Every structure is written in structure tokens, then in C-alpha cells.
């Protein structure tokens, strides 16, 4: 079984809709991250969480929100989806701070029409 899972793997939605992407991990890591990937722009950090009560904005948090429901679960919401949020979204986890090594989920491909 995969250590980091994401659901759904693919999603098509319409402009203005609220959607949620979910991430679960069995690695026992404290830290979780959400990234988006766009062609030519690489991976950009949206939000990150160091533990259940800790939420931090990344580079591009506008239009997104997150919830850390448990150590193993971190969800990303698009409050009102817009077409330029069409991208690949990845969840990642890591355990310690100094030797930062992140492990990624398989990704969610989102298309906003």
C-alpha cells in the first residue's frame, strides 16, 4: 500500500464550485504539505502544517484553505474554483526539520472549466 495517498486522482469542476482534495499518510510523519505543479513553473508550495494545530501559508495560498484533521490527514479546499487553478496538486510529508526529506503522494489532476 502507498504511504501517501490522495483522493480524488482526477477531478473536473466548474468555475465557482467549492472542492476538496484529500491526503492521507501512513508514514507517521508530523509535517504535511500541499503543492501545485504547472508546466514550466515547477512545484510551488500552497500550505504546510507541522502538526495538527499548526497551519502555515506557503508561496501561493490565495484562493485555497486547508484543514489538518489528524496527524495523518491534511485536506486542501478551493473555496470558489477558477480556471487558473487548473493544475496538478501534490501532497507531501516529512518527519524531522533539519534533514528535510519530503515524500510525495501520486497527485490530483484538477481541471476547472
Partner 1 sequence: GQQLNQSPQSMFIQEGEDVSMNCTSSSIFNTWLWYKQDPGEGPVLLIALYKAGELTSNGRLTAQFGITRKDSFLNISASIPSDVGIYFCAGQPNSGGSNYKLTFGKGTLLTVNP
Among 44, 50, 49, smallest CA distance to 63 is for 44
Listing DSSP states for 26-65 in one string gives: -S--SEEEEEEEETTTEEEEEEEESSTT--EE-TT-TTEE
Q: Which is nearer to partner 1, 54 or 79 (CB)?
A: 54
3-state secondary structure of 83: helix
Q: Which is nearer to partner 1, 1 or 98 (CB)?
A: 98
d(CA 110, CA 10): 6
Q: Which is nearer to partner 1, 71 or 104 (CB)?
A: 104
**Smallest gap from residue 72 Cβ to partner 1 (A):** 17
**Smallest gap from residue 80 Cβ to partner 1 (A):** 26
Distance from the Cα of residue 106 to its chain's centroid: 11
Q: Which is nearer to partner 1, 17 or 27 (CB)?
A: 27
**Smallest gap from residue 26 Cβ to partner 1 (A):** 15
Binding site for partner 1 (CB under 8 A): 4, 6, 31, 40-43, 45, 48, 50, 59, 90, 94, 97-107, 109
**Smallest gap from residue 107 Cβ to partner 1 (A):** 5
Give the CA diameter of the chain. Answer: 41
Amino acid at each position: 500500500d502507498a504511504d501517501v495517498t490522495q483522493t480524488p486522482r482526477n477531478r473536473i469542476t466548474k468555475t465557482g464550485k467549492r472542492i476538496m482534495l484529500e491526503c492521507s499518510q501512513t508514514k507517521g510523519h508530523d509535517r504535511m504539505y500541499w503543492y501545485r505543479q504547472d508546466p514550466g513553473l515547477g512545484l510551488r508550495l500552497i500550505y504546510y502544517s507541522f502538526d495538527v494545530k499548526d497551519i502555515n501559508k506557503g508561496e501561493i495560498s490565495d484562493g485555497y484553505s486547508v484543514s489538518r484533521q489528524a496527524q495523518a490527514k491534511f485536506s486542501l479546499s478551493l473555496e470558489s474554483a477558477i480556471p487558473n487553478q487548473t493544475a496538478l496538486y501534490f501532497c507531501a510529508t516529512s518527519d524531522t526539520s533539519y534533514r528535510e526529506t519530503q515524500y510525495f503522494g501520486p497527485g490530483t489532476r484538477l481541471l476547472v472549466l
